[in-house]
């Protein structure tokens, strides 16, 4: 994504190349061009650009991709932490 980079070495993306058949679905769905075709299969070329949306994992028919998918939202995480500690009963997220 041009002009924007977030923290490095945090993304939980894991790619098992042995399972990849090179169908290209991950290349098709990734909005940050984390994957690129590499010969018969694909390769992770920009892991730090991963926003952990999980689209690649959902659309990989061979379970070659694992990622702890979720939404990087400070407000949502804060509410989640408060609920876990029983400090808030609100079910709201940052967008509601």
Partner 1 sequence: MNTDMSKTENKKNRNGETSPCCCAEAEPHVERPPCCGPPATVGGGEINEKVPGFIGWLSTMTGRVPRISSELTINDRFSAWKLRWGIGRMSAVLPPGLYVLGKPERQDPVVVTANYKMSYDLVRHALAGRNLWLLVLETFGVNVWCAAGKGAFGTEELVRRIEKTGLSQVVDHRLLLLPILGATGIEAHKVEARSGFRVRYATIRVDDLPEYFDNGMVTTTAMREMTFFMRERLALVPVELVMSLKKLAAVSLLLFLVPALMGDPGAGAGAVLAYLGAALGGIVVVPLLLPWLPGRAFSVKGAVLGLAMVAAWYLSGISRDVTVYAKVAAFVALPAVSAFHALNFTGCTPFTPRSGVKKEMRIALPVMGCAVLAGVVLLLIGLIPRQ
Strand pairing category for 65-66 and 14-15: antiparallel
Nearer to partner 1, 12 or 17 (CB): 12
Least separation, in Å, of the C-beta of 41 and partner 1? 17
- Please give the residue ranges that form the binding site for partner 1 (CB under 8 A): 1-8, 10-12, 25, 28-33, 49-55, 57-59, 61, 66, 68-80, 91-96
Write the DSSP string, 8-64: SS----EE-GGG-----HHHHH-TT--EEEETTEEEE--GGG-----HHHHH-TT--
User: Rounded CA gap, 85 and 69, in Å?
Assistant: 23
Nearer to partner 1, 6 or 19 (CB): 6
Nearer to partner 1, 16 or 33 (CB): 33
Least separation, in Å, of the C-beta of 47 and partner 1? 10
């Amino acid at each position: 994504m041009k002009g924007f980079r977030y923290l490095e070495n945090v993304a939980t993306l894991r790619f098992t190349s042995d399972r990849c058949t090179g169908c290209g679905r991950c290349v098709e769905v990734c909005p940050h061009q984390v994957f690129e075709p590499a010969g018969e299969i694909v390769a992770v070329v920009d892991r730090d650009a991963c926003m952990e949306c999980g689209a690649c994992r959902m659309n990989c028919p061979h379970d070659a991709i694992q990622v702890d998918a979720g939404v990087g939202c400070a407000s949502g995480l804060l509410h989640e932490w408060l609920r876990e500690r029983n400090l808030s009963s609100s079910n709201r997220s940052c967008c509601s």
